[in-house]
Amino acid sequence: MPTQAPNIGVGLRPTHYPHLEPRPQTKVSWFEAISENYMDSKGRPLDMLELIRTDYPVALHGVSLSIASTEGLRKNYLHKLRNLVKRIDPFIVSDHLCWTGLQQQNLHDLLPIPFTDEALTLIVEHIDQVQTFLQKPILLENVSTYLRFPCGDYTEWDFLQAVSDRSGCQILLDLNNLYVNAHNHRFDSSMFLEKIPTQIIGQVHLAGYTDMGTHLFDTHSKPVYPAVWDLFSSLIARAPDLPVLIEWDEDIPEFSQLEEEALKAAHIWNDHHGQTHTQRISTPVFSSFS
């Protein structure tokens, strides 16, 4: 079993601040911070993020960009995100391929979109606006959904590829979400994975779902399930250099349990590629956007 998890990160959550504040040695290589938790705070959260940043690479992961909103992007949001990006110098900036509600009725959820040409055109236009404004490429994550649309022009995997091809942005592939959607919408998760070219994937998320009986629900409240580890194993065999994140947002365990999950990912990586992989992410994965 490996004792360090190269390329494996975990989410930075306030419940772990007391553990991380004395700057202990950890088994993880990087942290992912929820952008919105730091964009509007000049208090302890931002201090903690800057402290972590002195020792680790940091990715900024947003939940409120609402890239598929038909009402357009929020300018004040983009300004605050750009300020945070300048301050933290993250190696990845990401958000979700979804909308979150109307501007005056924000539902604060990762809401489904139809995989249509209309949605694709809108999203690509918005990605261009964001990347131009930030002067940095972004990654967009596939989301779990509990409904889909009869009017789709694309499958989900074709839509992800089309978004990437037309915008130049990469995909943050959440394997838990992929599995949840495969179950909920009755498609083969392995086939989905085979259809996605690895070069459009810029990062991987791993998390746990909850079985509601009628559907699988994306709760991030459990360890990664065996079926999701299997997808990870299949993907990492083909794409060894992807940064991988263990996500846990509800019923958050001790930091040591997150580290154990990270080491499981490292163990699977070693099964495919041996124990020579010692790279820590210390420089930006992506070159400057131009």
Partner 1 sequence: MAKLTLSEFQHLFSQASLRPENTGVDPSLLNGIIPGGTLTSDAAIEVYRTGHIVRLTEALGETFEAVWWVAGDEHYFQLAKEFLLTHPSASYNLSDFGKLFPDFLDKRQPFSDLPFLADLARFEWLFKEIFHLPQHTSLTADQFHQHPLSGNLRLSFGPSIRVFQSPYSVYEIWKLRGTIQNSLPEKIWGTPQWLLCYKHQQQVYIKHVSEPEYLLLGHLIAGASIEESLDRTLQEFSDITATTVSDLFTVIKHTEIVTLLTENTAPISGDADL
Footprint on this chain of partner 1 (rule: CB under 8 A) = 36-37, 39-45, 47, 64, 66, 68-71, 74, 76-77, 99-109, 111, 113-114, 116, 118-119, 122, 145-151, 181, 183-185, 212, 214-217
Shortest Cβ 42–partner 1 spacing (Å): 4
Kindly tell me which of 102 and 237 has the beta carbon lying closer to partner 1: 102
Shortest Cβ 154–partner 1 spacing (Å): 14
Structure tokens at 7: 């390329």
Structure tokens at 115: 């995989």
Shortest Cβ 52–partner 1 spacing (Å): 15
How far apart are the C-alpha atoms of 145 and 228, rounded to whole Å? 17
- CB-based contact 93:138 (threshold 8 Å): yes
Shortest Cβ 178–partner 1 spacing (Å): 14
Kindly tell me which of 146 and 286 has the beta carbon lying closer to partner 1: 146
Structure tokens at 56: 């680790």
Shortest Cβ 64–partner 1 spacing (Å): 4
Q: For the chain, give the number of residues.
A: 290
Q: Which of 94, 2, 13 is nearest to 52 (CA)?
A: 13
Kindly tell me which of 20 and 244 has the beta carbon lying closer to partner 1: 20
Beta strands in 14-79 (DSSP E): 28-34, 58-61
How far apart are the C-alpha atoms of 211 and 109, rounded to whole Å? 19
Kindly tell me which of 30 and 192 has the beta carbon lying closer to partner 1: 192
3-state SS assignment for residue 275: coil
DSSP H or E run through 182: helix 175-185
Kindly tell me which of 113 and 236 has the beta carbon lying closer to partner 1: 113
3-state SS assignment for residue 19: helix
Structure tokens at 63: 């939940």
Shortest Cβ 7–partner 1 spacing (Å): 30
Shortest Cβ 285–partner 1 spacing (Å): 26
Kindly tell me which of 62 and 202 has the beta carbon lying closer to partner 1: 62
Structure tokens at 78: 């983009």
Kindly tell me which of 99 and 232 has the beta carbon lying closer to partner 1: 99
Beta strands in 18-116 (DSSP E): 28-34, 58-61, 92-96, 99-102, 105-111
For the chain, how big is the Rg over CA atoms in Å? Answer: 18
